[in-house]
Amino acid sequence: MGREPEIITSKDKMRRWSRAMRAQGKAIGLVPTMGYLHKGHLALVNEVRQHAQLIVVSIYVNPGQFSTSEDLSTYPSDFNGDLQKLMSVPGGVDVVFNPHDLYDYGSWRGTEGMEKKEDVGEVSCLEEKGGGHETWVRVEKLEKGLCGKSRPLFFRGVATVVSKLFNIVEPDVAVFGKKDYQQWRIIRRMVRDLDFAVKVIGSDIVREDDGLAMSSRNVYLSPEERQKALTINRSLSKAKHAAEEGQINCKILQDSVILAIEEAGGKVDYAEIVDQETLEAVEEIKAPVVICIAAWFGKARLIDNIEINA
């Protein structure tokens, strides 16, 4: 078991630590998480180690990422288990940043899924006065498609909290998993547009031995649902193979993915083939694209994707 990380909950203390380390000429890498860590998160830690001398892992369940159909209070959490997993990584991590809250919703009514202050708990690390926060960060075009269609305020919550993490931790590099493909692209665009001095790296999807993309929400799957959910990756792989064999009609490829998942008992939220950079839907594959899927199996909403570098 590796060394135990320093646990920081205060924004000011986190910023002071980062500035002291950077004054010593040390590069800082950040891995933002919502906790309940699995091997996919640990792969992000290993990735950021290739780019920075010091590693900060943030653990913060962001209320802004939950819709009305999702229960924030039941999101899986195991802070002590997370620490043990981080200590098991060769070299460990230097800091776990675990703020109690980063956004004061107050009595504001415009946030999907958070219509009362008690929904997000007491704000315990906010020193500001003058009511709840009201400033948001939005990446307007990239947030509209894919997951943004059924979760219109989701990426506003992501971009706002990630921008706050960047301002507090002041990392040189940050790593995001490409399983959340749209999120990764949105953060990259936000960093470019707002001139954050952070290099954003996308890390490849980490899968279970049977191919299921690792996710904290996999715990919601029953054994039977989990077997059926394997159809997601299998259908994506078949569609990619078909594209590499010459099938460039996106509707045919998308329909094949949807049919396979529905036949397995899943409910498809979306299955789309989009440009890797702009995330705009394409009709024929003539440039690098990504097939993105979101589907429900039981009460678990699972997302996955596969790149096709035409």
Is the alpha carbon torsion for 232, 211, 41, 24 positive or negative?
negative
Question: By the 8 A CB rule, do 128 and 134 touch?
Answer: no
Structure tokens at 192: 């470019």
The distance from CA 253 to its chain's CA centroid, rounded to whole angstroms, is 26
Instruction: Show which residues are catalytic.
Output: 41
Question: Do the bridges between strand 267-275 and strand 289-297 make them parallel or antiparallel, or are there none, so unpaired?
Answer: antiparallel
Dist. CA 296–CA 148, nearest whole Å: 16
Contacts of 21 (CB under 8 A, 6+ apart): 28, 54
For residue 117, count other CB atoms closer than 10 A to its CB.
15
Per DSSP, 4 falls in state P
